[in-house]
Amino acid sequence: MSGNTLGKLFCVSSFGESHGPAIGCVVDGCPPGLAISEADIQAELDRRKPGTSRHVTQRREPDTVEILSGVYEGVTTGTPIALLIRNQDQRSKDYSNIAETFRPGHADYGYWQKYGIRDPRGGGRSSARETAVRVAAGAIARKWLTERYGIVIRGYMAQLGPIEIPFNSWDDLDAEGNAFFAPNLAMLPELDAYMDELRKSGDSIGARINVVASGVPVGWGEPVYDRLDADIAYAMMSINAVKGVEIGAGFRSIVQRGTEHSDEMTPAGFLSNHAGGVLGGISSGQDVMVSVAIKPTSSIRLDRRSIDKAGNPVIVNTHGRHDPCVGIRATPIAESMLALVLIDHALRHRAQNGDVQCPTPRIAALAPEGTQAVASPRARGD
Amino acid sequence: MSGNTLGKLFCVSSFGESHGPAIGCVVDGCPPGLAISEADIQAELDRRKPGTSRHVTQRREPDTVEILSGVYEGVTTGTPIALLIRNQDQRSKDYSNIAETFRPGHADYGYWQKYGIRDPRGGGRSSARETAVRVAAGAIARKWLTERYGIVIRGYMAQLGPIEIPFNSWDDLDAEGNAFFAPNLAMLPELDAYMDELRKSGDSIGARINVVASGVPVGWGEPVYDRLDADIAYAMMSINAVKGVEIGAGFRSIVQRGTEHSDEMTPAGFLSNHAGGVLGGISSGQDVMVSVAIKPTSSIRLDRRSIDKAGNPVIVNTHGRHDPCVGIRATPIAESMLALVLIDHALRHRAQNGDVQCPTPRIAALAPEGTQAVASPRARGD
Amino acid sequence: MSGNTLGKLFCVSSFGESHGPAIGCVVDGCPPGLAISEADIQAELDRRKPGTSRHVTQRREPDTVEILSGVYEGVTTGTPIALLIRNQDQRSKDYSNIAETFRPGHADYGYWQKYGIRDPRGGGRSSARETAVRVAAGAIARKWLTERYGIVIRGYMAQLGPIEIPFNSWDDLDAEGNAFFAPNLAMLPELDAYMDELRKSGDSIGARINVVASGVPVGWGEPVYDRLDADIAYAMMSINAVKGVEIGAGFRSIVQRGTEHSDEMTPAGFLSNHAGGVLGGISSGQDVMVSVAIKPTSSIRLDRRSIDKAGNPVIVNTHGRHDPCVGIRATPIAESMLALVLIDHALRHRAQNGDVQCPTPRIAALAPEGTQAVASPRARGD
Amino acid sequence: MSGNTLGKLFCVSSFGESHGPAIGCVVDGCPPGLAISEADIQAELDRRKPGTSRHVTQRREPDTVEILSGVYEGVTTGTPIALLIRNQDQRSKDYSNIAETFRPGHADYGYWQKYGIRDPRGGGRSSARETAVRVAAGAIARKWLTERYGIVIRGYMAQLGPIEIPFNSWDDLDAEGNAFFAPNLAMLPELDAYMDELRKSGDSIGARINVVASGVPVGWGEPVYDRLDADIAYAMMSINAVKGVEIGAGFRSIVQRGTEHSDEMTPAGFLSNHAGGVLGGISSGQDVMVSVAIKPTSSIRLDRRSIDKAGNPVIVNTHGRHDPCVGIRATPIAESMLALVLIDHALRHRAQNGDVQCPTPRIAALAPEGTQAVASPRARGD
């Protein structure tokens, strides 16, 4: 129950520092009988891998994952699955100059104050490198959710700094050279140009990432506290650099009237999805829609005022290999966190309510996103 | 670890339905030696009590709390503190007409789908009445945080539908007849007028609530998952009707550059607080600043399309006693949730790091909010 | 997750002091759709009620339970079930003389040292009165286990001090005036005589209680730590006065050879049950057999050397109303704890493995206890 | 919180199969500032290492541990500590013949029934090899407990099958060639002879292991459920082959009268320790004394009746490399489990009660074991 374990039944216990020997995790509680391979996990890891475009850190990390346990003859056995990723490209010298100082907006000040000691190499435990672990564990969760429930989890960059990216098509995400996870190919030239300018300036920028889960059965979530949306908010806010989380209409709800916000229902389905697929903390069968705000990278080349461990004033600038916009690589991470929350609630739901399925009339949704609401058969307790 | 327990060390196990015999909770893990009385708790409960103005539900609930255990001669003993609030004003007939149908945007559809059974009286478990329990438990947390650390937690309404409420003074909140928790007396006439119009229209509206915790020591939070801000996001999103959570600059971070967002530090303190008092998931010693979006009430008098349990189309309108803007009474609830997260992390922090305090240079902040950053003595592990 | 909550999915959060206003609990995670009434719970409470024979405390407590939530129209809704038992017969003066001293072998020394404060009235939180809460919560668990799986949980006194009680028949337990839960009516005169002598002497005595759960499906338990037998050991040792726990052959295993201890299997079933129904931490389908050692009551009338809060030597004797053998009333408590562990593991098992049942050949056991091993259909993950 | 994580604040998440690539764990919640090295851990691992005498399995495993994270420049940083032990000597062919059958008394039947799949190589997850992980994690716990509180945890074999081993001296345990952890050198010839005969016979035998923790401060334990002794019982019963657990007088309590069992106190200390250092679930400051029963190994060379996966009758005998008495190597494991429970409760205690220490009169004990009871300064909440 310590701070580095995520989930109550599908539990991911994460470990590792940016420049230590390795990062990885133990995944406990995975249902048995799931076919999973290192290749399945590697495919997800490669989506967030550094060094894939000129817009992200040039650190070269193959991020090769090794399954150490819990899988026998290619199938999960129900025992803990340990995942190991050895660190390769560690240029500690990049960081030696900041061991005694604190980067404005960076975690190092908090870690030092909390523990009285910190591993300064590459940000140590606070490095975004840890998010590779989330993606690796998330790959297992996604495969099970898809195979058992047909759930599809997709994310995209909705805004890069001042540039809003109108959603065009999921297909655009797969386009060659789309390093932004931008759902709109027409925007790529503008995004490239913005990032080139930004990189030259030495500054960094924020971004908005949207994630959508389709096919989530109705009934998941454990109110009044462990609501599905509460656990999603927790999981998203736990990602490095995330400063805000919205479900459905999110902050737009403030100015909405009930007649606008509340999604009407007909035998044919919901007529809208301002709720973002969650009602009263329980999935409604509509798309689960999440949006997160990602702050600009705190490690930048420009001079910033700060203090050192002794409290003396210093000027800090960071010349390590950093992403000028961490949001660019955040999409697979946010998708993975949503997957991890969903599988945990899938297991929690059937623990209390069982998983026997009985027929029920489907309710099709006509949400703006055009997704199909799956009003799944209600789970019967006994 | 089920869904109705909040916290890992300061644990609040909540129970109760809107129209059942009672609501209440068991608070386990409270430090011994804290002087607490029913009057202390009642004072907080009265702040969210219904029927206090013409803008909120006219349900008459004294919300009288009884301490059943864990307090001996006025002082906590370290054993579980059970709090009981009997339900008084139950007009089940108000709800009898909706037992077979689902209110658009309401939790009842999810509860029915999840459990296959629901208590329809007053929304049953999903009623906002449960939030009284959070306020009662929060009162204990607040008292301990204040007495031990001098922490002050205050919240206010920052926006009512389209009306933004510029912060004027904390003192304005205490003004006679300020039913909105509006930090600006000059706004009251406009707010009153807006609510009167809204009530007549039969519709409802959303709101924004901000909460600030001052005096939080540096070092609280358990990354990489149980970050202080992650647990705050979870706690806030678990409040009925909340659809979005921001820490510090929140969604404004998207368009900020690193040079703007990252808070510089000097021996005199932080120069800004875009981080909202949390860096890398750990409190920085600055004010912890949270903002939440609250959706419009789903129970409104106007006709809405919906379905009944059989899936047939129906027209729903709700004539029960509901708040046209649940945000108006949400401030004490959000404050309480922040208090509950903070005390849990206070205990978690000293579990791992001890609570011996040593002197350290104070760092004063010059944040726009004019708050004092308390760079508390770091906790020493041993 | 604090110390007063039992279970990970079927969670019982207990509260209350012996002489406070009330004791009770919140039961969270109970499957919906279970028919449960206060009468169902009361029936179990009455089995451990004080004042039922001359051999137990004469404290008069009706132990009337009230269901405060989680049950609608006689059926569980899946929301938390709060149970309340008001304290009635509180003669605090019985205990006023020991507020400043510590009873040898009693919890009061530990509570005072741990918390720096304690409620001395009737032992406060450490009173065996709290076990009524376990029985009340256990009644819900037992009903679900029986209705869903046909599980039967029965216990009996196997030894009273030096007197071993050979098992004769479960029917003997129901005999009129069998205040001992002795499975052998022929032993009652000897037991009565022993207790009469003991009561006159002012001393107390220990006992052994055996509990057997029949019909437990194969496959429950979460190794390598949360084994079914590990959680049973925890639950039993958490009962006041328990000093030892055995599963199956228990300490007799020390002198057994593998050829004697290991239970052979045939298509017709297991040929013995030295394992006590648990193999590798997982239920085998045979009877789950548990035996616990209960120490003599620490509160006795005879003079004992002790110290007071100031560390000064004192002579302590206790004239409150105490059971000279707490083991006499322990059987329903031990049964309830076993039920609470079993339902928790039932839910945990189906969370990971689902609860779809498929046919499998039954394996009948010929264990000395003559129980039928139910090699239940294995649970399928997906 | 799944079944492979031990502890609530000092959390050990274990993974690995006997013949998979590796075993290991993630230790989360360790206090920062503890000097720990792979050598420190290796020293404990070597105590349980196989192949150290003719009486134990001849499997050759160096059990070399690698620290993957959480330690920087030889000191714990407060972040998760991952420990990795690669498997070396894997003779899967030894086990190929039993993949389709079940060994009487072995876990394989339960695993297959629970998960519908199992890794048969060397017992897979159920192999005692996993206990190396407990010892590795325990080494960290022991070092912290010793450095911070001066706690000493020692265990010994008290009985080997029918041979009781009278305690002579702790020093005897360190004697050259004492492969039994027998606290009495004079017994070694008899033990050697017994084991030689047993090995020839192809059978196996049980044993009793005692563990004692000295220097435990008064006040640890979280009643009413998470009592110190309850968590110890859980931890011990979670060890492979353990069938019984006693605290202090244990089952001897059954025949004791209150005047004999309850430990009297004087200003000079406790006069006995039948409680085993735990009163009301809270440490008393006396030695914490635990005794466990270990069953005979289920894998033996002799023919045994069993069934195969199809339910057909088969004759099973096991010619793999097994310990004829698993109890011989169990002492370091039991010590480690006690250490893991103690550190978890040390952290839990100071979470709620703080760790400020104030002077108090010491109470010396005159328990038979001649240990010094440390009635530590009570922890103050605030």
pLDDT category, C48, cuts 50, 70, 90?
confident
Which run of H or of E encompasses B305?
strand B304-307
Mean pLDDT of chain B: 90
Does B114 touch chain A if contact means CB atoms closer than 8 Å? yes
* Least confident stretch, A135-144, C95-104, D346-355: C95-104
DSSP 8-class letter at A101: B
Q: Alpha-carbon distance B92 to B104, whole Å?
A: 20
Q: Does residue D359 surpass a pLDDT of 50?
A: no
Distances (CA, A) of A260 to A229, A273, B276, B311, D277: 21, 11, 32, 22, 65
Cα separation, B291 vs C378, whole angstroms: 49
Residues of chain B positioned with their CB less than 8 A from the CB of D9: 348, 351-352
Residues of A numbered 158-217 whose beta carbons fall under 8 angstroms of chain B's beta carbons: which are they?
159, 161-162, 203-208
In chain D, the residue whose alpha carbon lies closest to the alpha carbon of A16 is D69
Provide the CB-side half-sphere exposure for C103 (13 A, CA): 29
Q: Residue range B281-293: average pLDDT?
A: 97
Nearest CA in chain A to B300: A258
- Segment B62-90 mean pLDDT: 94
**Residues forming beta bridges with residue D283, ordered by sequence position:** D278
Q: DSSP per residue over D188-221, as a string?
A: HHHHHHHHHHHHHHT--B-EEEEEEEESPPTT--
CA atoms within 13 A on the CB side of B164: 2
Structure tokens at B283: 């409190």
Say if residue A241 carries a ligand binding annotation.
Answer: yes
- D141 at interface of B, judged by CB pairs closer than 8 A: no
Per residue in D191-202, pLDDT (tens digit) is 999 999 999 999
Q: Which of B147, B351, B380 sits opposite D9 (nearest CB)?
A: B351
Give D257 or D176, the one with higher predicted confidence: D257
Nearest to B216, CA basis, from A298, A110, A310: A110
Length of chain D: 382
Which pair of structure tokens corresponds to residue B355? 């609570």
Residue A353 has pLDDT above 90, yes or no: yes
Distance CA B34, CA B246 (A): 32
Model pLDDT for residues D322-341, shown as the tens digit of each residue: 789 999 999 999 999 999 99
In DSSP terms, D294 is beta-bridged to: D207, D242
Of C99 and D280, the structure prediction assigns the larger pLDDT to D280
According to the model, what pLDDT value does residue D55 have? 86
B105:A162 CB<8 A: no
Residue C364 pLDDT > 90, yes or no?
Answer: no
Q: What is the pLDDT of residues C190-240, one digit of tens each?
A: 999 999 999 999 999 999 999 999 999 999 999 999 999 999 999 999 999
> Is C296 annotated in some ligand binding site?
yes
Mean of the per-residue pLDDT values of chain C: 90
SS3 letters across B130-194 = HHHHHHHHHHHHHHHHHHHHCCEEEEEEEEECCEECCCCCHHHHHCCCCCCCCCCHHHHHHHHHH
Helix (H, G, I), strand (E, B) or coil at D270: strand
Residues of C in contact with A31 (CB under 8 A): 352-354, 381-382
Q: How far apart are CA C215 and CA C202, in angstroms?
A: 42
Q: Which residue has the tokens 């009930």?
A: A258
Interface predicted TM-score of the whole assembly (ipTM), two decimals: 0.94
Q: How far apart, in whole angstroms, are the C-alpha atoms of residue A112 and residue B242?
A: 34
Is A126 annotated in a binding site? The answer is yes
- Phi and psi at residue D258, in whole multiples of 5°? -55, -40
Residue D52's pLDDT is: 74
| SS3 at position D226 | strand
**What CA–CA distance (Å, rounded) separates C30 from A352?**
7
**Least confident range of B80-84, C18-22, D45-49, D74-78:** D45-49
pLDDT at D335: 98
**Cα dihedral B175→B178→B182→B186 (10° resolution):** -70
Judged against a pLDDT cut of 90, whether residue D245 lies above it is answered with yes
Residues C243, D233: C-beta atoms closer than 8 Å: no
Q: Is the pLDDT of residue A296 over 70?
A: yes
> Would you say residue D94 has pLDDT above 60?
no
User: Which A residues, 91 through 110, put their C-beta within 8 Å of a C-beta on chain D?
Assistant: none
Cβ pair B224, A130 in contact under 8 A: yes
Element (H, E) at B93: helix B93-96
Minimal-distance CA residue of chain B relative to C30:
B2
Of the candidates C277, C287, C265, the one whose C-alpha atom is nearest the C-alpha of residue C227 is: C277
The helix (H) or strand (E) run that includes residue C81 is strand C81-86
**DSSP string across B227-283:** -HHHHHHHHHHTSTTEEEEEETTGGGGGG-BHHHHSPPEETTEES--TTTTEETTEE
Residue B364 has pLDDT above 80, yes or no: no
Show Cβ contacts of residue A33 under 8 Å, excluding neighbours closer than 6 positions: A75, A76, C380, C381, C382, D115, D116, D117
Q: Which range is least confidently modeled, B125-134, C120-129, C240-249, D205-214?
A: C120-129
Query: Average pLDDT, whole number, for chain D?
Result: 90
Residue type, A286: Q
- Chain D contact set for A129 (CB, 8 A): none
Considering only B260-264, B369-373, D30-34, D41-45, which range has the smallest mean pLDDT? B369-373
Return d(Cα A363, Cα A167) in angstroms, integer.
25
Q: How far apart are the C-alpha atoms of C122 and C240, rounded to whole Å?
A: 14
Task: Identify whether the C-beta of residue C51 lies closer than 8 Å to the C-beta of residue C57.
Answer: yes
Residue D381 structure tokens: 């909440």
Please check the confidence at residue D376 and state whether its pLDDT lies above 60.
no
Q: Is the pLDDT of residue A374 over 70?
A: no
Instruction: Report cis status (omega within 30 of 0) of the bond before A224.
Output: yes
Residue A144: C-alpha distances to residues A60, A106, A346, C80, C306 (Å): 30, 36, 10, 30, 61
From the CB of residue A92, how many other CB atoms can be counted at a distance below 10 Å? Answer: 12
- For chain D, percent of residues with pLDDT exceeding 90: 78
- pLDDT tens-place string over residues B20-58: 999 999 999 999 999 999 999 999 999 987 767 888 877
Summarize pLDDT for D11-50 with one digit per residue, the tens. Answer: 999 999 999 999 999 999 999 999 999 999 999 999 987 7
* pLDDT per residue as tens digits for the range A142-188: 999 999 999 999 999 999 999 999 999 999 998 887 989 999 999 99
- Distance CA(C48)–CA(A59), nearest Å, equals 68
Average pLDDT over residues C134-149: 98
Residue A91: pLDDT band (50, 70, 90) is low
Instruction: Determine what percent of chain C is predicted with pLDDT higher than 70.
Output: 89
Give the A window 274-313 contacts with B, CB below 8 Å. 274-276, 278-285, 293-298, 300, 302, 304-307, 311-313
The distance of Cα A190 from the centroid of its chain, to the nearest Å, equals 25
Let me know: does D334 contact D236? Beta carbons within 8 Å.
yes
Query: Which of D23, D38, D72 to mutate to probe the A interface, most A CBs <10 Å?
Result: D72
pLDDT of B356 reads: 59
Of all residues in chain C, the percent with pLDDT exceeding 90 is 78
- Note whether C273 and C263 are within 8 A (CB): yes
Is the CB of C31 less than 8 angstroms away from the CB of A353? Answer: yes
C-alpha pair distances (Å), A186 with each of A167, A182, C359: 11, 9, 57
Is there a binding annotation on residue C295? yes
pLDDT at D382: 33
With 0-12 / 13-18 / 19 or more C-beta atoms within 10 angstroms meaning exposed / middle / buried, residue D66 is: middle
Identify the pLDDT of residue A333: 98
> Sorting pLDDT into bands at 50, 70 and 90, what band is B367?
very low
Is C380–A33 a contact, with Cβ atoms under 8 angstroms apart? Answer: yes
Considering only A95-104, A295-304, A360-369, which range has the smallest mean pLDDT? A360-369
Three-class secondary structure of residue C41 per DSSP: helix
Among candidates D315, D25, D324, which has minimal Cα distance to D192? D324
Which band of pLDDT confidence, cut at 50, 70 and 90, is reported for residue C91?
low
Q: Which two tokens stand for residue C122?
A: 């009737």
Listed in sequence order, the residues at least 6 apart from B208 whose beta carbon sits closer than 8 Å to its beta carbon are A251, A254, B157, B158, B159, B291, B292, B293, B294, B327
Cα distances (Å, whole numbers) of residue A31 to A71, A347, C29, C354, D16: 11, 9, 20, 9, 16
Is B214 marked as binding a ligand?
Answer: no
pLDDT at A381: 31
